[in-house]
Amino acid sequence: MNEREVHLNVGGSHEAAREVDPQTPFRILVCGDFSGRGNRGLKRTDRELSALKPVSIDRDNFEEALAQHDVRLERLFSGSDGAPVSVDVKEFDDFHPDRLFDRVEIFESLRGLRRRLLNRGTFDQAADEVRGWTAAPPQAPAQPPPAPAAANALENLFEDTGLVPREAGPEWNRFIRDTVSSYVVPGADPRQDEYVACVDAAISQSMRAILHDPDFQRVEAAWRGVSLLVHRLETDSSLQLFLLDLSRHELAAGLAGDDVSDSALYKLIVEKTVGTPGAKPWSALVGNFVFGPSDADAQLLGRLAKLAADAGAPWLAAAHGSIVGCPDPRQTPEFDDWQAPAAAWQERCACHMVRGRARSSPSNSTSWRATDATKTCCGATAGF
């Protein structure tokens, strides 16, 4: 691996360590894209960034805080009708496949289509809809030549005998109809199972597409990381946790400019805390972002270092494995095999992300019939 030296000059003055009042609470600010802003291409102006208000979160208000973020992911993929598929998350459980199957519009449409395929009265119309998905619809098996109608058979019989049958009266016709109708069962269309299988495959593929979408996985991982924090930290008046919803683009744009101290995020995180008499400072700044060895990431980290130094709090974030010579930890799980010098990753205290949940699997009560999809779904990864 080619090694490069990156020299960071964050500028500014270095003040002596500030004395902290023992009564000051330990306040953690977690920055990340918690609402899917990057997916939707939303961008705040500098004025909007500097006016943001961090959201306090703990065990008691976790669901309320999640709902407050209006989590929405758009254009994950296009459904069979070409319409883009979107997902709204109102509760933490909405990330589960069962809830997705119940709430996402495309599955409601596919469930209805499946019911219509199983109904003889609506089968033909539903089958036409399925055939519209592909240029090669299922072919009905060859049918044997139709048997001669009963009336024709009787006529042939009487022709052979030279007898002419009398026309049956209405009472006789009614008797025949009532007698035979109890034994006549309309046969199911032989293509029905094939069309139902097509819909089941569409359900599985749609679920797989959502669960494997990078934007969906990032937002799910962000909230699973927050869930780990709030349920493993004993938050109270002395330990407080806050969320700041902004995308990676907004993080970089909010620190842009010749002087970091003039940027929008600097005003929000530094000036409104340590720069304001009586305001409570941040004790730790956590970024739910991954930084690699690129020059752009190095420059952004330099600006974040200046921000954190003036805020009097460390900046914590995830490092991409390529920084420590381990682009894929699954291939080289032992740190002795990493290509970068040990001092390089020890200085950065780099650590890979952790799995936030187990693989998805349908519950006993589920009906979304996407077993194949769950076999290939990776567990969400917590980013911090």
Residues 6+ apart with CB under 8 A from 177: none
Q: Where are the domains positioned within the chain?
A: 26-69+213-382, 77-140+151-212
Q: Is the pLDDT of residue 271 over 60?
A: yes
pLDDT for residue 294: 87
Residue 221 pLDDT? 96
The pTM assigned to this predicted structure is: 0.72
Strand partners, 382: 354
* Confidence (pLDDT) at 38: 96
- DSSP 8-state code for residue 25: -
- pLDDT of residue 364 exceeding 70, the answer is no
Q: Read off the pLDDT of residues 320-330 as tens digits, 9 standing for 90 and up.
A: 877 766 666 66
Mean pLDDT of 67-71: 98
> Residue 311 pLDDT more than 60?
yes
Distance between CA 331 and CA 244 in Å, rounded? Answer: 34
Q: Which range (34-38, 118-122, 192-196, 357-361) has the least confidence?
A: 357-361
Query: What is the residue-averaged pLDDT of the chain?
Result: 77
Percent of the residues in the chain that have a pLDDT greater than 70, as a whole number: 63
pLDDT tens across 160-199, in order?
445 444 444 555 444 434 433 444 345 567 788 999 999 9
Query: Buried b / exposed e across 324-352, counting CB within 10 Å, b at 16+?
Result: bbbeeeeeeeeeeebebeeeebeeeebee
Can you tell me the distance from the alpha carbon of 370 to that of 359, in angstroms, rounded to the nearest whole number?
13
pLDDT digits (tens, 9 = 90+) for 198-240: 999 999 999 999 999 999 999 999 999 999 999 999 999 999 9
pLDDT for the residue numbered 45: 95
The β-bridge partners of 243 are: 30, 55
- Distant-in-sequence, close-in-space partners of 112: CB < 8 Å, separation ≥ 6: none
Contact yes or no for 287/304 (Cβ under 8 A): yes
Q: What is the pLDDT of residues 280-309, one digit of tens each?
A: 999 999 999 999 888 899 899 999 999 999
Lookup: tokens for 59: 């065990």
Per-residue pLDDT at 95: 97
pLDDT at 5 > cutoff 90: no
Res 252: pLDDT:
95
Per-residue HEC secondary structure of 67-134 comes to HHCCEEECCCCECCCCCECCEEECCHHHHCHHHHHHHCHHHHHHHHHHHHHCCCCCHHHHHHHHHCCC
Q: Using CB atoms within 10 Å of the CB of residue 212, give its burial: 0 to 12 exposed, 13 to 18 middle, 19+ buried.
A: middle
Q: Is the pLDDT of residue 2 over 60?
A: no
